[in-house]
Structure 1
Amino acid sequence: MPSGRYSFHDTHDDTPLGEERFSCAAGPSGWRYTAQTFAADGTTDGSVDLTLDSRARPMRLELRRHGWQVRGGALAGLTWVRTHVEDTDLTFTREGNEKAHAFTGRSPAFLLATARMLALAEGTSARVRVVSFTEPLLAPRTLDQGWTLEATEAHPTDSGLLTVRRFRVADLETGEEGLVHMAGDVVLSAPGVELEELETPPGAWI
């Protein structure tokens, strides 16, 4: 069960944006990722809970950030409900549905989930439609991403060879792209994300 800490920073000027302390594990029929998120000053500001089925589809998602909450899953594409803890009469609560394949957002959990779902062979590419929840209000945005598995490399470590996969991920609307490095079910680095601590080795790539 890998667990550790990711740090977030602005991709333009490296301003620290906070961190995420996570754990994840494969289960009988899929994979689950849970995390607490923290602001740059160390205060708790949210959480992530994502469960995938055996085909890496998002069976359950719960995001919390600054009082906002999103609950969703795979149903007729992707379906979700976004609300705020102070919206007791549901005046501003909104439901959403999109013919998309995966959720995405700041958490590395979403990169891992999409990579698992696509199951790319080295040198191949795919286009995927995703629903992104933006920070800090968790507002939904639908976009198309392009994924390419550029290389798979084995790196020696004290506990044996570590297989690292290098993906190029692009927002096909804006043309913005970046490199994502993964080892098993852990993201080593991605645009705006760095793995700072890892208490246990990555789980196997499934």
Structure 2
Amino acid sequence: MADPVLLLLLLDFGLIAALPRIFFRRDGSFNARWWSTALPVGATPVVLVLGRALPLDPIVPAGWLAMTGLVAVAAAALSIGLIALTLGTHRIPIALWHQNDDAPRHLVTWGAYRLIRHPFYAAFLLAFAAAFLAFPHWLTAAALVYMTVMLNAVAAREERRLSDSEFGAEYREYVERSGRFLPRLTPAGQPEVTS
């Protein structure tokens, strides 16, 4: 992994790690679920630095690394851009993740949320994919899989809470036209047009 790729990834993970301090509301607590999600955000940069410093073998052929490194740069840049777009979409900070008593105060369906229901989580997954692509090792693969499972569970919990809230009808309509982590290519219930 080249030094500029490593630097971009460290900046990406640094931005993610800074979000609780620079954006989220301060009324939440860092509970066990929060820490279980946050741990890989801190551990993965350490793995990347060790992967650069130590002779650890990747799990892909060495000839692939130039291409996976380029794709990693694109994914990390998209992650940073999506975080910035999401930050710019919000007029007020939102709750810190995993709060049991967090009732939604408003529904955001514009900006970064127009096509993706969880753009922060999508950006986090892009960062973990970039880490794996830059340093394809069992540790970065495990972090990517773990975060995919964890963030999918968190998103499903948040979606249930929003569906049951005072914004439920509007939220369920929004779900029909947006994807969880990726934009929906066709509205739900509509068949895809293929030729």
Higher strand share: 1
TM value normalised by structure 1: 0.23
Higher helix share: 2
Which structure has more RCO (C-alpha within 8 Å, separation ≥ 6)? 2
